[in-house]
Structure 1
């Protein structure tokens, strides 16, 4: 499941190529329990009800697992509909707290991603006054509740908060609120093209010169959309960046470009999460030597494997990995701090 429409559609092509690469590698190494993986893609950028209905049709038609990169509203609808019928691997950054049976989380959570990044920006840049900006749905709202705790723990305060619907085209009221609040930093929790349009508007208003921005769901494609001229003081925290100079990532990039060419969608943390999702499912199945939810759940605890991010390990059905805080430098991200898992 990957978004090929809507604000998150920006990430769809890289999600697809990353998942295909993972499936190819699994199959070339003997498949999963003696069988080849076969991927069917559906557009997860649509209304949660439509996505859920189509997913259930595929499960009833024989699909044995769901691997999803989509917003949390779709995840919540799917969890209710699937009710543990098949394993469900959810790949992107999310707000934390998912405990439904048969659901395995590959992405970053606020505790891993935001807590150390906020502390670093407070300590290094004196960013004590924070404004919270997000799309109006579960991931930003729940993540921002956590961010409030982290800011307070570091001696700072949240001075304002705004939410906008998907596809918002007019940010003037939000920007006016930000000006009046005089924050040192703003946490931007927005999806895909909405993150692009907001950050362009933010820079056009001249706020980028003296207010730091921290994003938990940007990546290289989003930065290309924002533009170098609009990315001053823009920070991004994630478990993966395409520019990581690690042996594991360099090997991944060689395989990725070898499979799809140099003109392939730019590798990024959101797309690459689909690679991790497929790889994780295969590693989990091999360890469990079964594909039923109960056996997979038992086998997931303390599972460790090496992917493009490096070594990751699972605790309580959440994958833990190193986090990197990067700053926009032109149209690239430059890592400024590494937070080991």
Structure 2
């Protein structure tokens, strides 16, 4: 383990202990919320921002009196961005720490490995990451976007504004990459376009050179990728730039924080997001001000993967208060239709355990910021989990 990761993990443990120390203010028995996130592995690039959002949410909730008069305590574990790590992390949270709920931003591989453990432990689980859709469990709600909400803005823009008729699709070889690009291919073909190539690299792979050579030979009008986020986004973007490919490029998995860390490799990339720091509303301004005040020079850029994490704590709070209890079965029922008006605007989990979202098509600028090109209010997630009651 690198010295950086050691220091980061020590910091997380210290923050968790500090959060626990303040729980005696209102009640001796805190509400424990587990956060499993990729402090190591592919998601380690975005994990620090997710942790910061979790910390701010808990501190704000506790400062306002907690939930039902009880303080909230964070329990943070490393899922190593994958299935094996998630199994260990969730065993710890569910059966050793006996958390009251889990709120986590994770890879699809980690989520899929975690769901059976969540079901055995009967713990409410809010999954905060964007993902490939149609992952359903009686114990899970989702407040991130799904393909039905995210793909159309990018593809439609390339077709209408860039004249794209042929596309090349590139992703990581696991549930998210394949699920996103399967949906994207269908959408492209349904709207008269053609996919001239589709390639995948293992989630821990770093050399995109052979795939980029195939793209060059295929001469597509546009390129769209769906990686594991974090580190794979960085390696892919840098190698695209190094290869001299200049075709319109849409990244279905990049977040604003990662983009800012990539330098000019990200410049010009198109993305579709439900959250960007440039959103102009009172909730986002308050959120950004609070984040800056709390973390100062150590602040990680709030982004599409960290803001829904912040928001989910308040959705859980609303569900507990609606249920009048932290009892898992009561909270799960209450999570349907709870709302929170925050940085993204009003969010309500009332559509097949998912939420309609305002989506924004953006393009990454030279300074890493994202210019919003188009906005799409109240985009429906579609029929994600119609048979889960």
* TM-score bin (small chain): over 0.9
After TM superposition, list the pairs within 5 Å mapping 1:227-306 onto structure 2: 227-228=263-264, 230-306=265-341
Query: What do residues 210-254 of structure 1 show as CA deviations (whole Å, max 9, x unaligned)?
Result: x111112212232233322x3343101111112222222111101
The normalised TM-score by structure 1 is 0.94
Of the structure 1 ranges 135-144 and 120-129, higher mean CA displacement relative to structure 2 is found in 120-129
Whether 1:197 aligns to 2:235 is yes
1 CA distance for matches of 2:98 and 2:123? 10
2 CA distance for matches of 1:222 and 1:46? 16
- Unaligned segments of structure 1, at least 5 residues: none
* Contact kept in structure 2, 1:52 and 1:78, CA below 8 Å: yes
2 CA distance for matches of 1:231 and 1:62? 42
2 CA distance for matches of 1:217 and 1:280? 24
Runs of 4+ in 1 over 4 A off after TM superposition: none
Whether 1:78 aligns to 2:114 is yes
Q: Which of 6, 20, 26 is matched with 2:55 structurally?
A: 20
Which SS does the other structure have where 2:149 is aligned? helix
* Contact kept in structure 2, 1:105 and 1:318, CA below 8 Å: yes
1 CA distance for matches of 2:343 and 2:267? 28
Aligned residue-pair number: 338
Name the residue aligned to 1:322: 358
2 CA distance for matches of 1:242 and 1:184? 30
Root-mean-square deviation (CA, aligned residues, Å) is 1.7
- Unaligned segments of structure 2, at least 5 residues: 1-35, 379-389
Q: Which has the higher contact order (CA 8 A, sep 6+)?
A: 1
Which SS does the other structure have where 2:184 is aligned? helix
After TM superposition, list the pairs within 5 Å mapping 1:322-341 onto structure 2: 322-330=358-366, 331-341=368-378
The normalised TM-score by structure 2 is 0.83
Q: 1:62 to 1:301 in 2, by over 3 A?
A: closer
Of the structure 1 ranges 56-65 and 83-92, higher mean CA displacement relative to structure 2 is found in 56-65
2 CA distance for matches of 1:215 and 1:312? 24
Which SS does the other structure have where 2:89 is aligned? helix
1 CA distance for matches of 2:336 and 2:82? 33
After TM superposition, list the pairs within 5 Å mapping 1:14-163 onto structure 2: 14-60=49-95, 61-83=97-119, 85-163=122-200
Deviation at 1:292, TM superposition (A): 3.4
